[in-house]
Amino acid sequence: MNKHQRTIQKPAELTGIGLHTGVPSIIRFLPAPVGTGVVFRVPGANGLVDLKADIGHVIDVNRGTTIALGEAKVHTVEHVLSALAGLEIDNCLCELNNIEPPVGDGSSKPFVDVLLSAGIETQDAPKTYFEPDGPINYSEPARGVDLIVLPSDDFRVTFMVDYRNPALGTQYTTLGSLEDEYIKDYAPARTFCFMSEVEFLHKQGLIKGGNLENAVVICDNGYTQEDADRLQEIFHYPNEVHIGKTGILGDVALRFPNEPVRHKVVDLIGDLSLIGMPIKAHILAARSGHAANVALARKLRAEIDKKRLADNYKAPPTEQGIQLDAQAIANIMPHRYPMLLIDKITNLEAGKHVTAIKNVTFNEPYFMGHFPHHPVMPGVLIIEAMAQAGGLMLLHMIDNPQEMVVYFLGIDSARFRRPVRPGDQLRFEVDMLSFRRGMCKIAGRAFVDDNLVTEATMMAMLMER
């Protein structure tokens, strides 16, 4: 049974410093209407900017997840997002006075506590869940990273990590219920790193706000008290830092015997929330970090886009992508006879690629004059058909395609390799090269059978109808 959407009852805030940037920071949580999602309101070049927590806004995954929209940017969003997702809060405005939320104690618990103090309010609209139809896999064999998403009647996570360090070794955990386990068993788990990483991260300009109060530092084999003393100087720790007997720098006590792998679950929950909806699935994870989590989230978003297109236009999803017939195409595109030049979409991957078909018959109106005794499809119409395929891909990337139209701004490197005649079937393969602020660049090729007949690079932009 699906639950209703939730927000918070009243504003609440948390103050501190950012983990990686070290900037003083205040985050203020505010209630938000149904359907808002999670939005960060942050300073931009010309005032405040509303930056939605969305997988399409991720720009960096180096030791944390960073999102941006234009010049507006927020570092290390995963702990805030994890707290919201862990409490099953769907709609929230997160006001920030700087570029990174406060790190707190390195876990998501400070955010959980603040949100609970604000109270949680059930809203008058059902949640929409992502429910996979079958297994979805992501792996990086060279790094031993594996992520598998399996259908389930609820959200579950099973996570395994194995470190070649006696203080950690192989660790394993399973979260079976957000409602019953997240607050008590996962939110308190703190971020961690190895002693060998600290200097490297510092030289990269990261962990400027890191200390032994907001991170667990694990001592590598071979590191000595001299190394610990050097770290104390680098980070200006006020107290002596010693190599602990437990294998943890400063003998900091762990909150759980397997605290590091539990924090990995916290990060995974936050990163996957960037798909924009709660998940009903069992996630199996091995050795995953932010880069792999975000890569998996992108795959899940692609599946969501396929399902949305199928629902909107009665398009059957296939292993290759989405298929659209002529009627479905007419529901999306503004073109009509005689200028609707696409008969079928055989593959559509949101924001990446489209394969389209045009059946060229002797009844095409242009053959009456081009040319009566030697019918050849005009090259400009081949380009137009290719552009329509690209435009359909572009319209599918937005929420309101019926309210928008695609205008083409330029055509480059157009080449016509051979004529197209009645009876030919044109297959267009169009790829998205770039998309920013409503403008895109696409590369298209047209084939008859497997013979390249036309190719071009085009630029286009979205406009209101």
Q: Which CATH number belongs to the domain containing residue 358 in this structure?
A: 3.10.129.10
CATH number assigned to the domain comprising residue 297: 3.30.1700.10
CA nearest 343: which of 362, 356, 361? 356
b vs e for 191-230, b when ≥16 Cβ sit within 10 Å of the residue's Cβ? Answer: bbbbbebbeebeeeebbbbbbbebbbbbbeeebeeebbee
Whether residues 338 and 268 fall in one domain: no
pLDDT of residue 196: 82
Whether residues 141 and 289 fall in one domain: yes
What residues have CB less than 8 Å from 203, skipping those under 6 apart?
none
Give the mean pLDDT of 6-11: 98
Q: Which structural domain, as residue segments, surrounds residue 266?
A: 136-301
pTM listed for this prediction:
0.76
Whether residues 154 and 97 fall in one domain: no
Whole-number Å distance between alpha carbons of 30 and 104: 19
Domain count, the chain: 3
Whether residues 92 and 9 fall in one domain: yes
Give the mean pLDDT of 338-349: 90
Residue type for position 268: L
Whether residues 170 and 296 fall in one domain: yes
Residue 358 lies in a domain: yes
Q: Is residue 452 over pLDDT 90?
A: yes
Q: Tell me: the pLDDT tens digits for 358-416?
A: 999 999 999 999 998 999 999 999 999 999 999 888 877 776 666 778 898 999 999 99
Whether residues 43 and 146 fall in one domain: no
pLDDT of residue 203: 82
Q: Tell me: the pLDDT tens digits for 421-443?
A: 999 999 999 999 988 777 889 99
pLDDT of residue 267: 98
Give the mean pLDDT of 330-338: 84
Whether residues 109 and 154 fall in one domain: no
What residues have CB less than 8 Å from 209, skipping those under 6 apart?
17, 18, 19, 20, 21, 22, 23, 103
Give the mean pLDDT of 13-39: 96
Whole-number Å distance between alpha carbons of 198 and 111: 25
Residue 308 lies in a domain: no
**What does the mean pLDDT of the chain come to?**
90
Q: Counting Cβ atoms within 10 Å, is residue 170 exposed (0-12), middle (13-18) or buried (19+)?
A: exposed
CATH number assigned to the domain comprising residue 8: 3.30.230.20
More confident residue, 390 or 237: 390
Give the mean pLDDT of 213-230: 82
Q: Is residue 308 over pLDDT 90?
A: no
Residues that are catalytic: 290, 370
Lowest mean pLDDT among 30-34, 42-46, 149-153, 308-312: 308-312
Lowest mean pLDDT among 42-46, 60-64, 172-176: 42-46
